Structure 1
């Protein structure tokens, strides 16, 4: 009888739903990939949440300025942060996931500005703008530091686009998807119709989830996340989400 009761108790316990693990992640504003007020907090956030969910992990987001987001994660105050470029400095401090989304920076210009380029040296003599704190790739950064490129660093991407429309600059590097989204959010159809971009990317990178090496369980969590991410990608949902994000974006009226 005792053995029967033990078996019944064990079966009841195993039938109870197991509470999902929870992971606290920082985030920032970079529409349409990331944003507190966006549907699903942005497409990159959605991918992170759904990849973790496939491994039984719930995500709790916190939105902060980017420097604060990275600092909290780096110190192990939060599990990690989404989404970031890979670098040797970050590899020393974080477990870095497989790619979540891809980012491509292109040189935006006015349609009436004749322009072509193959290497960064071709940009010499052009009036360039860049956003403060942004890294536009090793070759660009080195040329700027050496004085070979004159780059007017401004406080926001929107300011740079307005300078482009006002003919105060010739070129502005910007992630294409983010740039399209910004143009639709803050500029008129007539203004958008004046702009284009060169098809050659200035830089192309993957963006990743970072999990702090200061948090003991993160070594296991990064493996679980990568498994969920692979499964989500194989399902076709990531491609679907990215297509849905880009469908309404256009530089035309």
Structure 2
């Protein structure tokens, strides 16, 4: 039997048939972009997997808490992780892909709350809630650290939305698409109808695939991934997939 297996492998190699290549990537929960129980593991996971597939590479996903996901990838215990902000610090440990998806954070508020803003100084004396561990952009974070903004941090986005609906706070910064998904999953149409968001984004960022610099071959894999991603984008599928998750979501009853 062993001799037969060896013979088959040699035959495959001699005939130029490549053995399938795969990568192990870590992930976290951030519906509708990422989620272990979501179709395709979330739309961002779908884009990553299909971009790799166009290059003949399959993806094995592992879901962990976010800090653990990043740590496993950075140490080279997994090939990479998806999806993350680009930063100079992360360039030290990772090859960083072209943008996979875009994220826009907006200030949610009650519809009956008279509110306008253009710069961080306009948020002084507002009652603002934030979720622990979230980075809302350099200007916001600096204002919070210096005491110019007083931010009440809570443990989940759902809790923050409930405090907003109850009138305990005035503003809640949240990725718009993720926020809409939370509101549809956990709140009634009547509750959603009480909320709105300001059209000026608090922050707008691209999110990326990270491949560990500690894994041999990852520099070349990143090049191939970017090529696959460009193909997928040019086909119109990236725009299609993003539209599919946003169409059902709104604040209207």
TM-score range normalised by the length of the shorter chain:
over 0.9
Q: Distance in 1 between the 2:227 and 2:100 partners? A: 12
The answer (yes or no) to whether the contact 2:76–2:214 under 8 Å persists in 1 is yes
Query: 1:98 is matched with which residue?
Result: 98
* Partner Cα distance (1:169, 1:133) in 2: 19
Give 2:62's aligned residue: 62
Partner residue in 2 for 1:141: 141
Matched length: 244
The unaligned stretches of length 5 or more in structure 1 are: 1-9
1:60-102: per-residue Cα shift (whole Å, max 9, x none)? 0000000100000010000000000011110111000000000
* CA-based RMSD: 1.3
Q: Which residue of 1 aligns with 2:238?
A: 238
Match of 1:7 in 2: none
In 1, are the aligned partners of 2:12 and 2:18 still within 8 Å (CA)? no
SS in 1 for 2:107: strand
Matches within 5 A, 1:168-247: 168-247=168-247
Matched, 1:42 2:42: yes
How many angstroms does 1:216 deviate by?
1.2
Q: 1:122 to 1:26 in 2, by over 3 A?
A: same
Could you tell me the TM-score, scaled by structure 1's length?
Answer: 0.94
Describe the superposition over 1:36-80 as per-residue Cα deviations: whole angstroms up to 9, x where unpaired. Answer: 000000000000000000000010000000010000001000000
SS at match of 2:98: coil
Residues 121-144 of structure 1 deviation map (CA, whole Å, 9 limit, x = unaligned)? 100000000001100000000000
- Residues 146, 249 of structure 1: alpha-carbon distance in 2 compared, 3 angstrom cutoff: same
Aligned to 1:51, what secondary structure does the other structure show?
A: helix
Unmatched segments (≥5 aa) in structure 2: 1-9
Distance 1:149 1:193, change over 3 A: same
Change (3 A) 1:212 1:116: same
Deviation at 1:19, TM superposition (A): 2.3
Aligned partners of 1:232, 1:54: CA distance in 2, in Å? 8
Report how far residue 16 of structure 1 moved.
6.4
Normalised by the length of structure 2, the TM-score is 0.94
